[in-house]
Structure 1
């Protein structure tokens, strides 16, 4: 009885402490609008229903914010979040609050302390060492791999010529996986010809479970999730993906050790994969740390790149005038050649780059960026001080279609990104790679891949597409009906 009384008393004390803290946070943010809450779960009902309904709920929250200085608040259980749809307030948070929100913990069993989810202190030390690896001169060495795999993609797409509509994303994803595996690990996977492997099946299974857990609030507490069969299924499949990367890391470490004293061996003309470049740095990474960083690159970076390419191809299929302008630009660079893109070629693809950026704006594949507020921080646009202990939800999808983009932000217009139309736009109005010092380390590499692949596809095929239609949000943004296009082969100019 005494033990039960102590537990009851401790529970009451904790509840009173939380209630007082919540009341203080509520008072500090009293001027922010909020949707009606329910006992215990707060606004958790926003995340009930299917993924299409959840996206609609998020737009309801964004519309509320747009009517009240571009910010609103919500409670997810006991935690306060401030939803931000304003570039200036987003800039303040992204520049000053570098710690990822607790929701990213669901990725930790898979990605460990890789850059994407690392705690701030570890992230600062490791990013400083990794940054030179992603320098333009390094990633430009990978253009040959990109061109080769883009040619395989064109070959694979040939089976769809003059046929009915098909979802192009699976073809693009296989291509980008082949690129990322070879450039990050130095391993040729040939996913485009052999897409069904144990590693890829395991990877897909983990993604499905993470997506489910992210939006089914009752599965979020570890004590409940661990009682479900999903926990073992996730653990077994994560172990399988880790085993694959661990074997590659160990093989590369042995190669590095053999070559360490051999100057001739260190400069043998072979492709230097990202993993090869992580040995012998200022920090001597352990094998586990190397696996975490490589998995972060191949997992977190690949699907976003593939989605942007797929959305862009669909948009070009819808907007034939834009596709014609892209083709004219390509012909001015390549003539009738089908060769791969060089660095100089990519630098001339100004209109294609604008098309890709407009695709990323309209279809923000990472729709939300969540940060932990580790100290009281003042947001100048909404005029509120967000208390330490709260979370900030940057609605990149909302900012990309806000008044910051002028009239009719929902309209596809690549020329929004012309220099003369961009010079007065707030720098945090465009967030496909996040913003601030914790932005995407591979953003330049991603743009090289996107431009190279789209260039090759557009020179080979004419694309037609209908409207994209309704969307759903998982960890990333997807069309309900997929990325449907029709293709026909182009007749090369002589």
Structure 2
């Protein structure tokens, strides 16, 4: 009798009302903000968009339909207004990273996913020296050596696999950009490349613990799956403890990827810290700098925290670079005149006989920088609105004429801001490198460009990333000719980052003029 009462339709309706309707009524003050489908009642709507790999594009479409403010969760508001960037992300506003970031914790919280303000300040103080101007200059040698191997491998492909009719060898450029980015970050963060360029294969050693046996996994695939499952679970953090029970293979594979990615960092740190590898080691890489870092008490990072921060560098410095490199090549190839202008600028700036230019040779080439920036705008590898929570005790915040209170989660969607015709003009959806000419660029556009976020939680490795992209792009555009071998747009899927699914091109050696 009791069981039948509990399972009665009235009881089920009451449960639904308590779970969905009461929270909605509690947040009635947000009811004037339009929301798609059931987003105002549950985070499951946003979670579904993330699961589909199209979160930023869907949110962008919702903004086109509803306007500058869209309610994408019960207390989560997406604000497509560049004027809100400083309010939400700037120094001194008191906003905290939302519980979305709990889904990205594996070994322990690192600089990226810590939510506590004091802990973040401690970590940033300990790590910031790693990215000083002096350190970045010392990192260039590791970028340079791997780009040299990249050129060697593509020269080999051009010679051995060229189509006799066209002279071009067919490659999936994304794969090779992945190999290059992982080998560079392996060299920078862990003391040695992963060997992907040498093997032409996605493979890396991982260990469950420092003393555990080694196994081998596809690192690029692992990173992609980890990003997708974490970005999905982050939309509904209450489900994180129960994710392994969700009857969708996506979650099981994703959680395994989270463990395997941590295992890659454990294996590489373990190798780097072996006494025989530490003796007389003079490398000035990221791990060496992390080991030198001290907080305000003079304490250095412990083994577990060191590994967590090294993992952060691996994640932040790998597929961000490869995705962007791939997108740069795609947009340059599909836009008439861009390749020719790049050839002219690069041939003029880089001396004959040099295959891989130094950073000093390419950092002052305006058109190359414009192409990179324009790709970061139109492709927006980091596309989603990074969620920030108004903490308890904060006064109400007014944005777009609406008051928001502690507990509200606000975000500015980078993809939508980067495609705003109000900010960028009627050609916002077109690839126009010349828009970055200082004579054309407005102060508003400069402030609205947020590929690395902004404020105290902005990417600490921005300068390394920009140096790497300039050297990589300066090399592959100058040393090779291309033809696009796929029809239609470059397909993408979004996890935490919006990543291409492939780029089929023909390559052949080019003799610089």
What do residues 151-183 of structure 1 show as CA deviations (whole Å, max 9, x unaligned)?
211222231553465421110111111111111
What do residues 203-228 of structure 1 show as CA deviations (whole Å, max 9, x unaligned)?
63364255146448799713432335
Unpaired runs of 5+ residues, structure 2, are: 1-13, 206-216
- Please show how residues 97-108 of structure 1 align to structure 2 within 5 Å: 98-108=95-105
Secondary structure at the counterpart of residue 425 of structure 1: helix
Shift of 1:306: 1.0
Shift of 1:253: 5.0
Contact 2:129/2:293 (<8 A) preserved: no
- 1:298–1:483 Cα change, 3 Å: same
Establish whether residue 483 from structure 1 lines up as the match of residue 503 from structure 2. yes
Distance 1:36 1:60 in 2: 13
Select the residue among 474, 494, 501 that pairs with 1:473. Answer: 494
Select the residue among 81, 86, 102 that pairs with 2:81. Answer: 86
Secondary structure at the counterpart of residue 407 of structure 2: coil
What do residues 107-135 of structure 1 show as CA deviations (whole Å, max 9, x unaligned)?
1125x311111123211111122112101
Secondary structure at the counterpart of residue 419 of structure 1: coil
Partner of 1:72: 70
Select the residue among 409, 417, 422 that pairs with 1:391. Answer: 409
Partner of 1:3: none
Secondary structure at the counterpart of residue 507 of structure 2: strand
What is the alpha-carbon root mean square deviation over aligned residues? 3.5
Establish whether residue 221 from structure 1 lines up as the match of residue 227 from structure 2. no
Unpaired runs of 5+ residues, structure 1, are: 1-11, 260-264
Contact 1:376/1:385 (<8 A) preserved: no
What do residues 46-91 of structure 1 show as CA deviations (whole Å, max 9, x unaligned)?
72597366555323212135xx3x222132xxx3111111111122
- Please show how residues 133-212 of structure 1 align to structure 2 within 5 Å: 133-158=130-155, 159=157, 161=162, 162-163=167-168, 165-194=170-199, 195-199=201-205, 200-201=217-218, 204-205=221-222, 207-208=224-225, 210-212=227-229
Contact 1:317/1:485 (<8 A) preserved: no
- 1:305–1:470 Cα change, 3 Å: closer
Establish whether residue 119 from structure 1 lines up as the match of residue 124 from structure 2. no
Secondary structure at the counterpart of residue 439 of structure 2: helix
Shift of 1:341: 2.4
- Please show how residues 39-438 of structure 1 align to structure 2 within 5 Å: 41=42, 44=45, 47=48, 51=52, 54=55, 56-65=57-66, 68=67, 70-75=68-73, 79-95=74-90, 96=93, 98-109=95-106, 112-120=108-116, 121-158=118-155, 159=157, 161=162, 162-163=167-168, 165-194=170-199, 195-199=201-205, 200-201=217-218, 204-205=221-222, 207-208=224-225, 210-212=227-229, 214-215=231-232, 221-227=239-245, 238-250=258-270, 252-253=272-273, 270-283=282-295, 284-368=300-384, 369-374=386-391, 375=394, 377-380=396-399, 382-402=400-420, 403-438=422-457
Secondary structure at the counterpart of residue 491 of structure 1: coil
Contact 1:166/1:484 (<8 A) preserved: yes
How many pairs were matched up? Answer: 468
- Please show how residues 2-21 of structure 1 align to structure 2 within 5 Å: none
Secondary structure at the counterpart of residue 73 of structure 1: strand
- 1:39–1:324 Cα change, 3 Å: closer
- 1:256–1:127 Cα change, 3 Å: farther
